[in-house]
Amino acid sequence: MTDPVSMLARTPVLLVALDFDGTLSPLEDEPMEARMLAAARDAVDALLRAPDTTVALVSGRSLHDLRVIAEHADDSAIWLAGSHGAEFWQPGSGALNATEDTVDEELRDTLRAHAEKATAGMTGVFIEPKTFGFGVHTRVATPETAADANAAVDAIVAAEAPHWRRRTGHNIVEYAFRHEGKDSAVAHLRELVGATGVLFAGDDVTDEDALASLGDDDLGVHIGSRDTHATVSVPDIPAFAALLTRLATERSSPR
């Protein structure tokens, strides 16, 4: 059987689109403390040096927060898709303005305040502001407290914004008035850079839309051990970094 990494290494124009939390960085109790593992950073840098290769980070984080945790400078060659593909940053151009809606933003602020009030006093529960909504973090809460927090906020959103999109992830439930997903983010990036092949990798449920959207000339990678649409699964971030390093090496070798 032909090795899928070697096959992808031969595509004329490659897009490597990567989730961040749990894929390049360990999950952290304090979300803003997340940083790439050194091996992952080295692998990304190697891919940036490879010919005809674009690297993008595709995350549920807001664009601002993604830039902070990725230590993403203004002169970076890495593309960004934040808020599950509702925000983009292009090398050489910067942030690409998303469509704003004052009514939606006012509702966002109202619902966020209601969620904060409903979960006040629930130990280990944190409401994370997001550009197009908010997230309910329960990583350090007990299972019982997490269930109570999620039920309380679910009821608020169901009553006040039933049209919002709800997503679940590792100890987080996200609510947003924008409905873009990582599948549409990858499709948009593919078009922008003219990619003939895509590697997309992620560890969470929110990555499955993108993994399921990939074609025969692409490669999906899951970090972890649960059921997935990915073609390849690796156990952890160091193993994934090794896969990316091998891809960069083969892509940089004479074809």
- Domain ends where: 126, 148, 176? 176
CATH number at residue 68: 3.40.50.1000
- Domain ends where: 120, 155, 176? 176
Is residue 164 left, alpha or beta, with left meaning phi > 0 and alpha meaning psi from -120 to 50? beta
Same structural domain, 92 and 114? no
Same structural domain, 172 and 185? no
Same structural domain, 240 and 170? no
Same structural domain, 145 and 132? yes
**How many domains does the chain fold into?**
2
Is residue 173 left, alpha or beta, with left meaning phi > 0 and alpha meaning psi from -120 to 50? beta
Same structural domain, 133 and 94? no
Contact 171, 139 (CB under 8 A): yes
- Domain ends where: 148, 176, 204? 176
Same structural domain, 26 and 73? yes
Same structural domain, 77 and 191? yes
pLDDT given at position 102: 74
Give the DSSP H/E element, type plus range, for residue 165: strand 165-169
Same structural domain, 75 and 58? yes
List alpha helices for the chain, DSSP H.
Answer: 4-9, 38-49, 63-69, 102-119, 143-160, 182-193, 208-213, 237-252
pLDDT given at position 46: 98
Residue 131 structural domain: 102-176
**Mean pLDDT per 10-residue segment, the chain (255 residues):** 90 98 95 96 98 97 96 98 95 81 86 97 95 94 97 97 93 92 96 98 95 97 96 98 98 84
Q: How far apart are CA 112 and CA 164, in angstroms?
A: 13
pLDDT given at position 101: 61
Same structural domain, 87 and 112? no
Same structural domain, 88 and 212? yes
Same structural domain, 74 and 109? no
